[in-house]
Amino acid sequence: MGDMAQSPLMSQAPIRILLVDDHSVVRMGLAAILGLDEGLSVVGEAEDGTQALEKFKAEKPDIVLMDVRMPGVSGIEALRALRTACPAARVVMLTTSELDEDIQQAIAAGACGYLPKSVKREELSKAIRHVHGGGHYVPEAMARRLEQLARRRHLSAREIEVLDGMRRGLSNRDIATALSISEHTVKAHVKAILQKLESADRAEAVARGFEHGLLKVERP
């Protein structure tokens, strides 16, 4: 493996990579893995967001591989700062957990890729080349999770009915009666609504309902 250096495609100048992680062990591991691919070259390492910015300016790497979680300036913040300073920077975020919720923030902040540290060597190389080629890379499992998170904001028809009951000042029991279901089911819906709308209580959920256009002003 890793002996594709002679192929016409790989004979180009290697992709220059900057590693950012507070754990030197991880940096070592990544460097070792990436070193096996002759089309890739680690040109610098940084321990935190601040260093990352400095190293980036000094080395002008093609790709930044950065941990999402770091002490001090978080990976997400560092990503934002980096993208603000150098919008052309192509950053691939790394995460420890398989199902990291930060994925949304990372994408929103301009990450070009998002990988779990458990990623296999082949996929890592593939991801880096893909991102270097101008694309975005998110593993299958994470993409699915992204969809879930996206769908998660959209209330179901039933949930909107319940939300509408809330905005009228109905209690869970009242809503249950109105919809001819049990109070417990209403509570289940309410719970789902609070989660999806990231609200602490029904009052905030109603506010979010208006903000998201789920509820319309009836009597202006």
Binding residues vs DNA (CB under 7 A): 148, 151-152, 156-159, 171-173, 176, 179, 181-182, 184-185, 187-192, 194, 200-203
93 binds a second copy, rule: CB under 8 A: no
Question: Applying CB under 8 A, does 186 fall inside the site for a second copy?
Answer: no
Among residues 171, 173, 184, 195, the one that binds a second copy under rule CB under 8 A: 171
In the block, residue with structure tokens 């930044």: 64
| Residue partners of 59: CB distance under 8 A and separation at least 6 | 16, 18, 43, 44
| Burial bucket for residue 93 (CB in 10 Å: 0-12, 13-18, 19+) | buried
Minimum CB distance to a second copy, residue 12 (Å): 43
- Contacts (CB under 8 A) with a second copy, residues 151-170: 166-170
Dig out the tokens for 50 from the structure: 């601040």
- The yes or no reply on residue 202 touching a second copy (CB under 8 A) is yes
Residue 92 interacting partner from DNA, a second copy, none (CB closer than 5 to 8 Å by kind): none
Instruction: Find out whether 53 and 75 touch, Cβ atoms under 8 Å.
Output: no
Q: Which is nearer to a second copy, 122 or 204 (CB)?
A: 204
Identify the helix (H) or strand (E) that includes residue 54: helix 49-59
The residue among 22 and 161 lying less far from a second copy, judged by its C-beta, is 161
Nearer to DNA, 81 or 192 (CB): 192
175 membership: H or E segment, kind and range = helix 172-179
Question: Is 104 an interacting residue with respect to a second copy (CB under 8 A)?
Answer: no
Q: Where are the alpha helices (DSSP H) in 180-214?
A: 183-196, 202-211
Residue 219 binding partner per list a second copy, DNA, none, with a CB distance cut-off of 5 to 8 Å that depends on partner kind: a second copy
The reply to whether 205 sits near a second copy by the rule CB under 8 A is yes
Q: What span, in angstroms and rounded, lies between the C-alpha atoms of 131 and 174? A: 53
| Residue 69 identity (one-letter amino acid) | R
Q: Shortest gap between Cβ of 105 and a second copy (angstroms)? A: 15
Whichever of 87 and 220 has its CB closer to a second copy, that residue is: 220
53 CA to centre of own chain:
20
Parallel, antiparallel or unpaired: strands 91-95 and 113-116: parallel
In the bound state with a second copy, the residue whose beta carbon lies nearer, of 106 and 205, is 205
- The footprint of a second copy (CB under 8 A) covers 166-171, 199-207, 210-211, 213, 215, 217-220
